[in-house]
Amino acid sequence: MSTLFFNNIISAQALHSLPASEVFIIDARHSLMDLNFGKNAYLEAHIPNAHFLNMETDLSGDKTGENGRHPLPDLDVLAEKLRTLGLRNEMQVVAYDDAAGAMAARVWWLLRAMGFERVAVLDGGLGAWCKAGFELNAEIPAPNTNTGTFTRKTSLNHTVTANDIAAQLPVATLTLVDARAPERYRGEVEPLDPVAGHIPTAHNQFMMNNIDEHGHFKPAELLRAQWMELLGDTPINTVVNYCGSGVTACHNLLSMHIAGLDISTTGAAIYPGSWSEWCADTHRPMAKHS
């Protein structure tokens, strides 16, 4: 396979042009309001050769009531599943959804967490694929006769914990960025978690601000300008993205990557537990309004 690969987003046209033997497609469709939606939608129709990964099981770990709504999965287990499905180290992985990349970005981040850089989100999602006139089908990929060669390596991501955030709050050495809708950030509504509000000192950068009116990521220069307007001269390695459960925070990190900002292990981070983990401990400080 060519040494050239996609590591943030890929167009429907570019995906369609890739040889089937060289691309591994993941359908990550999911609805927080209907946990069966993603699998049912996949079984009805999907991009040819796509494999379905479930947000609640494959892409998340066991919940304890204190570790958030979508705790990180056991990466060794996820790596083994990907191998079983036939993923090879030299393949291009492409994840898609029908939610502006909100779910697919979690796949992108998790592959990076396993040291895999050849992973991209389908820009415009399933809608862009269909608008381009490309087919869907309901065929489940045939069982792989040979286990893939995918190998978990050192993470490419920077993460922080709730304790890391709590320890710095008196002096706010970290720059927290909340990816949720403004009304959830302000604590005016909370449809999913038991407590409304945000982590003190956090800024709000709604993940949908990364997307244009056609459902595609905005151009890199525009995304960079948006981030610079929010962050100013803040060192990128102090930026910590979070959201409700650690999923849409990945979308903000993806937009930073598209914008050319550092998201390496020494760059911008994610707090995987996010608000759902943070607010599970009533002793942690919480804020409302902007």
48: alpha, beta or left? (left if phi > 0; alpha if psi -120 to 50) = beta
Residues 217 and 174: their CA atoms lie apart, in Å, by: 26
* DSSP state at residue 197: -
Residues 96 and 99: their CA atoms lie apart, in Å, by: 9
The whole-angstrom distance between residue 86's C-alpha and the CA centroid of its chain comes to 22
Amino acid in position 63? K
Backbone CA torsion sign across 168, 170, 175, 179: positive
The DSSP-derived string for 146-162 is S------------B--H
Residues 248 and 254: their CA atoms lie apart, in Å, by: 10
| Catalytic residue from among 130, 243, 250, 279 | 243
Q: Tell me, yes or no, if 130 is annotated catalytic.
A: no
Give 106's contacts (C-beta < 8 A, 6+ positions apart). 28, 55, 59, 70, 246, 247, 250
Q: Comparing C-alpha atoms, which of 243, 217, 247 is closest to residue 31?
A: 247
Q: Which residue in the block uniquely carries the two structure tokens 């950068």?
A: 205
Question: Contact 49/144 with Cβ under 8 angstroms?
Answer: no
Angle at 239 between CA 238 and CA 243, to 5 degrees: 145
Give 63's contacts (C-beta < 8 A, 6+ positions apart). 69, 71
Q: Which residues are catalytic?
A: 243
